[in-house]
Chain A
Amino acid sequence: MSRLPTVSANMVWAVLGLIAAVVMVVQKLYIALAVFALLILAIAATRRTVRGRAFTDRLKLPVLALLSAFLVGGIVLILSDLEFYSKLSANPLGTLEASFGRVVVAYWELLKGAFGDIPKISTALASGDRNKIGIAFRPMSETLLATTPLILTGLGVAIAFRSGVFNIGAEGQLKIGAVFGAWVGIWIPLPFPFGLILAIAAGVLGGALWAFIPGILKAKTGAHEVITTIMLNAIAQQIMLALLLTPILRPEGSTTPISWPILEASQLPLLLALPKLRVHWGLILALVAAVGTSWLMFRTTRGFEFRAAGLNPRAAGYAGMRAGRTIVLAMTVSGALAGLAGAVEVLGTNRYLSPGISPGYGWDAISIALLGGTRPLGVVIAAFLFGALRAGGQGMALATGVPIDLLGFISALVIMFVAAPRLVRELYRVRISSAAPQTPKVVETPV
């Protein structure tokens, strides 16, 4: 690629800030935009230090990828409107304006659906009516609720990626974790919080076991973990379905694949005692897991071995680290986190198990790990973003009729742009350091 003269990054941020300020003055915008401008100022401030600059440099790719995905998503939204073409020939300018407006409204409703409506929140707070406050904060609560399992599965996949193994099996590990957690939560009556702790532990164990299988297969026989984890996803799904059709999980004589409800003492309590707010302690568990993962990966010998294996398995082997053991351990920890996600969904969000437990949290996890640069903090942010997309889609569908499936499309585009840093580099003519570990090293691990 040709080397163009570079502009200092500060200038780019300054221009962005300026545009934001002008637009805000002209349009009398909501606080959301002010927050955005503050964010830009904060970023500009961080660029004064070397560490801060390294941080914002890492943000460049995901942010630009996001921007591009929403742009393409908007174009698709316009082009997928069947009436667009006939109207276009009749009234080109008016139609383009209307279509553009449609995209704008859809994205605005998406934001409101994910984070709430500021005027609504302020009126609710002023009224002091608990019911109204609950309704006003519901979008944020739903976003955090969707974020919870995504943080956990995302962390699991990120650990595996960092250690040089591709765990594509988070979906299956989540389901086995959910089955284990549900079984303990249904059948073992212990006082709170022991019942809950045992059920969570069971979920973790289930996920860990399910990931141990591909780990040991890879270490002992060289079976490729991408193949084995995908196959184990299908098996996990069938195990869950089969158990849901037996009295092991559902009431005798039931004709529907829905388990007994989880015992009250084994449920994750809600975080806030307000109506409509479903966000529960699973979120705290997920954040603790993120801190724990960070500590494991960057502060312990084991984490160093994981990362060494991911960076260069040959060198790690030469340095005396046992590759086989690292693979098995990394997979097991990865699966334990996915299993925890399953347990948290069953014990906190749904309080029963049925086949609709996951809309693909294990698949989103791969995207989240990549978008988050396989770092725990990055994963938390990326999971929050995906959670916001999932929750905000409801508001968008409700207000504009744009199907929620558009968001699946946009999140896939985000990943394509993240996975193709060179494309983003060329499109926006910005420098993106290729040393940043944005994507896992695709290396065949010698065993």
Chain B
Amino acid sequence: MSTRLLALGASAAIVFAACGGGASAAPTTAPTSAASAAASGTPAPSAAAAFKACLVTDTGGLGDKGFNDNALKGLQDAKKAGYATEIKNLESKKDADYTSNIDALVADNCQSITTVGFNMGDATKAGAAANKDVAFSIVDNAYDPPIANVTGIVFATEQAGMLAGYLAAGVSATGKIGTYGGLPIPPVTAFMDGLWAGIKYYNQENGKNVTLLGYDPSKPKGGVLATAGNPWGDTDFGNQQANAFFQEGVDIVVPVAGGTGIGSFTAAKQAQAAGKKVYAIGVDTDQYITAPGFESVILTSIQKIIDKAVADTIHLAQQGTKGGTNYVGTLANGGVGIAPFHNLANLVPAALQTGLDALKGKISAGTVKVADYLK
């Protein structure tokens, strides 16, 4: 009898204590009005005005090592750099969470809200329309026409692509690079334009004749494309296309087609096992990290550097730019770049690295333009 009462009593006491403590703690931990929020914010050194930056990740969730994780890193970097005095992030588990999370962050007095990816395009637009005093930004999306309080975070991937093209041309033993896209749309062809330009620049500089198979900027819709039904996830196509390239003597393949590219990485790995010296270049994120298992294959990746872009956009919001324009990640501002060579660093001789650095400097300074190398 006593044990039973004790057990019940103890557990009840803990639960009641939990509620009780919460009630008394609540006024200090969760101010209910903006006024008290400001009041509790003031004890911090008031050198910079309080700025609350917030983030909503998409249903891909944290732990994706890609867009969501990098966006969160950007948010944390913004706080470290002093652009934001307070940061908050909410994860979305389903579509219905997008609107709900934006509403919750607005109610929590966030001054800037960053969302991730096209999935949140409509929810971000609606949130921005309903809360005109909040600075919104959205990763890898843009609106036409632009919205006064939304910054579309987009990337000049052709600049990083040009570096990758130059690198590939320098590394390739056969002088043939192969690429294919998911769809003939600008977000995809930008990568391939960059490759073309980089290879052309390398050829002019070194008097070589490296060629790009699968894409020609004069016919952007005529390149090699993944299957129309499933452009971003058809690993079979990715595998076959890479093997077709290898047959033609290509030794570096650059898939610009999301998950389809994994099929090409697999093909390259199989070809390596058969003794061929073939490699691949990733896109969007550092795929050495995001696509584990292909460390021997991935030479580099044409990267959108989300964390840098997110931190920069928060900085802009803190300085008073609510939106109405796009933030374009470039080589100059560090918003795009090529990933480290990791295991394959020995393929890149010092001379090639010097050339790469020089090209990077010229693109950043604007003396070399991708568009000039597309003819």
Contact = CB atoms under 8 A, between A and B. Distances in A.
Nearest to B14: A71
B343 interface: no
A381 B9 CA distance: 25
Given A276-B103, A356-B119, A398-B105, A108 B12 contact: no
B15 A67 contact: yes
A278 B98 CA distance: 12
B244 interface: no
Interface in A282-325: none
B82 to A, nearest CB: 20
Interface in B5-40: 5, 7-9, 11-26, 29-30, 32-33
A295 to B, nearest CB: 30
A119 B105 CA distance: 19
A36 B15 CA distance: 12
Interface in A140-177: 142, 145-146
B363 to A, nearest CB: 28
Contact of A7 (B5, B22, B29, B88): B5
Nearest to B62: A403
A117 B16 contact: no
A354 interface: yes
A70 B8 CA distance: 14
Contacts of B1: 4-7
A76 interface: no
A19 B29 contact: no
A19 B96 contact: no
Given A104-B22, A105-B22, A119-B32, A255 B101 contact: no
Interface string A241-273: 010011000000001101000000000000000
A394 B90 contact: yes
Given A357-B94, A398-B108, A19 B16 contact: yes
Given A5-B1, A107-B18, A429-B4, A399 B90 contact: no
A135 B131 CA distance: 13
Contact of A345 (B22, B26, B96): B96
Interface string B78-114: 0000000000101111111101110111011000000
Interface residues of B, number: 54
B95 A357 contact: yes
A198 interface: no
A354 B99 contact: no
B47 to A, nearest CB: 25
B30 to A, nearest CB: 5
Contacts of B93: 359, 390, 404
A394 to B, nearest CB: 5
B19 to A, nearest CB: 6
A358 B6 CA distance: 42
B101 A112 contact: no
A153 to B, nearest CB: 13
Contacts of B230: 242, 245
B95 A255 contact: no
Contacts of A43: none
A50 interface: no
Given A345-B96, A404-B91, A428-B4, A71 B11 contact: yes
A130 interface: no
Contacts of B33: 123
Nearest to B183: A255
B90 A397 contact: yes
Contact of B23 (A20, A27, A258, A350): A27
A180 to B, nearest CB: 18
A70 B22 CA distance: 15
Interface residues of A, number: 75
A399 B29 contact: yes
Interface string A339-364: 00000010001101011111100000
Contacts of B22: 104-105, 107-109, 111
B19 A145 contact: no
A395 B104 contact: yes
Contacts of A36: 19
A142 B93 CA distance: 14
Nearest to B118: A256
B274 interface: no
B229 interface: yes
A403 B91 contact: yes
Contacts of B59: 355-356, 359
A427 B15 CA distance: 16
Contacts of B101: 394
Contacts of B4: 4, 7, 428-430
B25 A108 contact: yes
B8 A428 contact: yes
A75 to B, nearest CB: 11
Question: Considering residues B15, B183, B185, which has the most beta carbons from chain A within 10 angstroms of its beta carbon?
Answer: B15
A394 B100 contact: yes
Contact of B8 (A15, A119, A276): A15
B3 interface: yes
Contacts of B95: 350, 352, 354, 356-357
A59 B13 CA distance: 19
A145 B99 CA distance: 13
A345 B97 CA distance: 12
A16 interface: yes
B5 A103 contact: no
Interface in A354-391: 354-359, 390-391
A258 B123 CA distance: 13
Question: Considering residues A255, A352, A358, which has the most beta carbons from chain B within 10 angstroms of its beta carbon?
Answer: A255
A101 interface: yes
A229 B4 CA distance: 42
Contacts of B24: 27
A101 B92 CA distance: 27
A349 B94 CA distance: 11
B8 A26 contact: no
B100 A19 contact: no
A120 B32 contact: yes
A29 interface: yes
Interface in B168-200: 183, 185
Contact of B15 (A70, A101, A135): A70
A49 to B, nearest CB: 23
Given A7-B5, A356-B94, A23 B18 contact: no
A390 B100 CA distance: 12
A398 B88 contact: yes
A423 B52 CA distance: 47
Interface of B: 1, 3-5, 7-9, 11-26, 29-30, 32-33, 58-59, 88, 90-97, 99-101, 103-105, 107-108, 118-119, 122, 130, 183, 185, 229-230
Given A26-B20, A428-B8, 10 more contacts: A33-B20, A108-B18, A109-B29, A394-B104, A397-B91, A399-B29, A404-B90, A428-B4, A429-B4, A429-B7
15 contacts: A4-B1, A7-B1, A12-B8, A16-B12, A23-B20, A67-B11, A70-B15, A103-B18, A104-B25, A117-B30, A135-B103, A138-B107, A278-B99, A427-B7, A430-B8
10 smallest beta-carbon distances between A and B, as pairs: A108-B22, A429-B4, A27-B20, A359-B93, A359-B94, A356-B95, A356-B59, A104-B21, A23-B16, A104-B18
